[in-house]
Structure 1
Amino acid sequence: MRGHPLAVPASPSLGPVRGLLAEADAVLVLGSEMGPTDLDMDLDGGFPDLAGLVRVDRDAQRLASGPAGLGILADAAEAAAALAARLPLRQGGEGATRAARTREAARAALLPGPARCLAVLETIREALPEAVVMGDSTEPVYAGNLFFEAGQPGGWANSATGFGTLGWALPAAIGAALADPARPVIALAGDGGLQFTLSELGTLADEQAPVILLVWNNAGYREIEMAMRAAGAEPLGVRPTPPDFVAVARAWGIAAERITALADLPGRLQAAARRGGPTLIDLPAALVHEG
């Protein structure tokens, strides 16, 4: 639940969150496979050992993998409800204070780039708090996986961990919109990733699905380029020329525009949601990083 005083909507890849986990007497994990990229996105090997680990999952094979601990084979929601019914309601304590301290420290631990991207995600959330955001493998989604709290449960899903799946956001968003057309759906995709499934604009037009396609446009595979430079390699093949996404969308009869001022984003999102049907918004990343 957004805003809960005990919530810490941050990745265990961040040092402050790891510190909170390391000092816990017991850790209850509900429905997570606890894969390497769930716990350690940077793969730096710094994730702490967990004392008193209890894992609940309905998949026996998944329970058998990952960190060792007490495994309970059960549906996570049912197990949580049963545990809540048996545990006494605790009054007072320092939980809210510790959670607030960890939230603040985790946000402060973000590098400037992810911090700017997080501000964009929060702008989206404040503009359309009821929206579902389906994210591709792109810079603001990486930032959101480090620190972001969706407007409501089920409001944030993406394919940007593990091996990632470039192009996932648009078809996933179409499915989400068709399943619940009353709820705004945002597909957040980079210009490079979107080109993997650009033809799905045709499906979007045919179905008239109420999807807002927000294109994070930095004219290339920026994350891969930075990784190559960090490894001492000369970047190669990371600057594919993107098409004019606005023109392509309009060719399918989809409402489309390019943002020229970041301050315009909330109003454009709200207008798209009111209009219904599909919309493409091209957001130049330079507006966020360079002002």
Structure 2
Amino acid sequence: MTHDHDVVLRPTEAQQEAALNPPAGRTGGDLVVETLQGLGATTVFGLPGQHALGMFDALRRSSLSYVGLRVENNTGFAADAYGRITGEVAPLLLSTGPGALTSLAALQEAAAGSSPVLAIGSQVPVAGLGGGRHGYLHELRDQQASFRDIVKSVHTVRTASQIPSAIAAAWESALTAPHGPVWVEIPQDVLLAETTLPVVTAMDATPDEVVPRPELTAVAADLLSRAERPAIIAGGGVVRSDASGKLLALAELVNAPVVTTFGGKGAFPWEHPLSLQSWLEDRYTTDFLEDADVLLVVGSGLGELSSNYHTFKPRGRVIQIEADAGKLESNHPALGIHADARLALSALLETIDAPREDPSAPERVRSVLTKVKDRIAAQELTLEQQVLASVREALPDAAPSFWDMTILAYWAWSAFDARHPNTMHSAQGAGGLGYGFPAALGAAAADPTKPVLAVSGDGGAMYSIAELASAKQHDLPVTWLIVDDGGYGILREYMSEAFGEPTATELSRPDFVALAESFGVPGVRTTPETLRDDLAKALAEPGPSVVVLPALLRMFEPTHL
């Protein structure tokens, strides 16, 4: 008996002929790159090392585009951004021991930001695995253990025949909602050994979609339809699942004000009458959300930043749509719906019978935003608002931006209008320094037709200075704005507030313009008054550039206490 859904297992004549006569001179490394190509990869990121050379040699025989950076952690940030921008798996090739371990902070950010990074690392030869007895260079007693707490899944290879299946399984894991980084490791001798296995052809590792249960959709639709004061918190899951259009349609259908989390920037139009924007560190916003009788949380776990530092205490009924089952009700009791944001929002749109009328909603939104604006205005932060406005005016609407952990980025989380979904990204997931510039390089590699902006402080910039060489070598259209305040500015503020004075925050730093020019990258020193024009000019020029703004910016006073 046959069924319509039976898989056709018989190879074609051409496939059979090719399989029986594989080309000579191939190794386990070729199986790696062939599998990546068969799964649909076009670009790989990496940094070579002794045990990984079999993979890198095989790249020479492949059609894959290679983007190499100078530090493994930065290479991981670049792959993270490529995954965020494209929604596709970003392969990351690493070597054993120090090379692998140096990538961990980047993989932590990829995990926190749900970016599908496929890290493939080498290992010592098979004979040396598991003991630390042989004294191989780069040897670790248990390399996998270093990654297991960070990545979604770990996949090990011990023979050449295991390579395609292990990489395919990792690929599927990385793309299963919620997206995230995965780890594959392959011993050096397996990568170098010649193989007579057939060339890997097209492979399918498409994950199953996370579909909402209909009985939960029915309850959620009923709650939203009958709500008197509904509100919506839109998180990064809305952006990653390309659900912004569905979110807009649902918000208008039930007349619910929408606030976007810092990870969900751009998920909802900034100037829409129902937009509460992103002022999550403001008590006026928090009070409004607490007062909602039905609160729909989409694609957010309501973590520390999204809950105004865990001061948010909703009084109404919470509906939480989340692809990560572990985040359902992790911070607040809710009607938890384990689902992809786009599919769940689609189901709600199909289930809610009629629009919910509420002509007062836009006025209530305006009232909150006016209170927020007045509070900020009272703090005399004209310089900070001027700088952020200049960046917004200089940056083309569709151009992506990547922000390091710096005071201007903290402002941008709340106050920057990301005019399109998936255009503003920061390291606010894990919060490590050095993300902005290498991530921007990864985004430029994904789409070199658009200029990309990176924003760092002088402290964070020093983490990734080496990547000026990578930007120049690959001729990537990234403009790097460095706000130079002579130290770790945000830590200076935190310590001054907590202890009366800062310690270990003041930094000696280079002449960033001269340093950029030494790499062959044009640089300019700007002022708050000339920033907009200097930044716009740099973004309009091909290739990389650096704009340095000496300025001491201050944070607005938080209101989560």
Q: What TM-score, normalized to structure 2?
A: 0.48
Tell me if the contact between 1:114 and 1:143 (Cα under 8 Å) persists in the aligned partners: no
Query: Could you tell me which of 198, 220, 230 is aligned with 2:465?
Result: 198
Please state if 1:89 is matched with 2:333. Answer: no
Using the TM superposition, give the Cα deviation of residue 115 of structure 1 relative to its aligned residue in structure 2, in angstroms.
6.0
Which residue in 1 is equivalent to 2:266? none
Q: 3-state DSSP class of the match of 2:529? A: helix
The 2-side partners of 1:17 and 1:202 are apart by: 43
Offset at residue 232 of structure 1 (A): 2.3
Matched, 1:68 2:333: yes
Superposition map of 1:198-217 within 5 A: 198-217=465-484
2:284 alignment partner in structure 1? 16
For the aligned residues, what is the CA RMSD? 2.0
C-alpha deviation, 1:133, in angstroms: 1.6
Q: CA deviation at 1:226?
A: 2.0
| Equivalent position to 2:423, from 145, 155, 178 | 155
1:21-45 CA distances to partner (integer Å, 9 max, x unpaired)?
12111110111121122212xx4x5
SS in 2 for 1:117: helix
Match of 2:271 in 1: 3
Aligned to 1:262: 528
Q: Distance in 2 between matches of 1:224 and 1:63?
A: 32
**How many positions carry a matched residue from both structures?**
283
- Counterpart residue type for residue 165 of structure 1: G
SS for the counterpart of 1:283 is strand
* Structure 2 residue aligned with 1:276: 542
Given candidates 486, 491, 494, the residue that maps to 1:219 is 486
**Contact 1:256 1:281 survives alignment (8 Å):** yes
Distance 1:119 1:70, change over 3 A: farther
Please tell me whether residue 30 in structure 1 is matched to residue 294 in structure 2: no
* DSSP 3-state at the match of 1:8: strand
Q: CA deviation at 1:233?
A: 5.0
Structure 2 CA distance, aligned partners of 1:77 and 1:113? 41
Report SS of the residue matched to 1:93: coil
1:82 positional shift: 2.3
Contact 1:125 1:131 in 2 (8 A): no
1:151-194, Cα deviation, whole Å (9 max, x unpaired)? 22222111146x52111111111111111222221101000011
- Return the alpha-carbon distance in structure 1 between the equivalents of residues 495 and 361 of structure 2: 42
Q: Matched residues in 2 for 1:114 and 1:63: separation?
A: 38
Cα distance change on mapping 1:92 and 1:71 into 2, 3 Å: closer
Whether the 8 Å CA contact 1:13–1:47 is kept in 2: the answer is: no
Q: Who is 2:247 aligned against? A: none
Q: 1:93 to 1:157 in 2, by over 3 A?
A: same
One of 452, 456, 477 as aligned partner of 1:189:
456
Percentage identity across paired residues of the two chains: 30
Quote how far apart the aligned CAs of 1:50 are. 4.0
Structure 1 consecutive aligned stretches of length 4 or more whose deviation exceeds 6 Å: none
Question: Which has the higher relative contact order, 1 or 2, with Cα contacts under 8 A spaced 6 or more apart?
Answer: 1
Q: Is the 8 A contact 1:10 1:103 kept in 2?
A: no
- 8 Å CA contact 1:255–1:279 kept in 2: the answer is yes
Contact 1:130 1:184 in 2 (8 A): no
In the TM superposition, residue 49 of structure 1 has moved relative to its aligned partner by: 2.3
- The answer for the alignment partner of 1:102 in structure 2 is 368
Name the CA distance, whole Å, in 2 between partners of 1:78 and 1:134: 28
Unpaired segments ≥5 residues, structure 1: none
Q: 1:114 Cα shift?
A: 5.9
Q: Does 1:246 align with 2:246?
A: no
| 1:123 aligned partner | 390
Supply the distance in 2 between the matched residues of 1:158 and 1:115 (Cα, whole angstroms): 24
Alpha-carbon separation, structure 2, partners of 1:49 and 1:271: 46
Which segments of 5 or more consecutive residues in structure 2 lack a partner in the other structure? 1-268, 555-561
Larger gyration radius, structure 1 or structure 2: 2
CA distance in structure 2 between the partners assigned to 1:28 and 1:79 by the alignment: 11
- Give the residue type in structure 2 aligned to 1:280: V
1:142–1:160 contact (8 Å) kept in structure 2: no
Mapping for residues 159-170 of structure 1, pairs under 5 Å: 159-160=427-428, 164-170=431-437
Counterpart check, 1:77 vs 2:345: no
Alignment partners' CA distance in 2, 1:113 and 1:70: 42
Q: Residues 59-89 of structure 1: CA distance to partner in whole angstroms, max 9, x if unpaired?
A: 1112152222010011002211222233323
TM-score (norm 1): 0.90
Q: Residues 160, 114 of structure 1: CA spacing in aligned structure 2 closer, same or farther, 3 A cutoff?
A: farther
1:176 aligns with 2:443: yes
> Secondary structure, in 3 states, of the residue corresponding to 1:36?
coil
8 A Cα contact 1:141 1:160, kept in partner: no
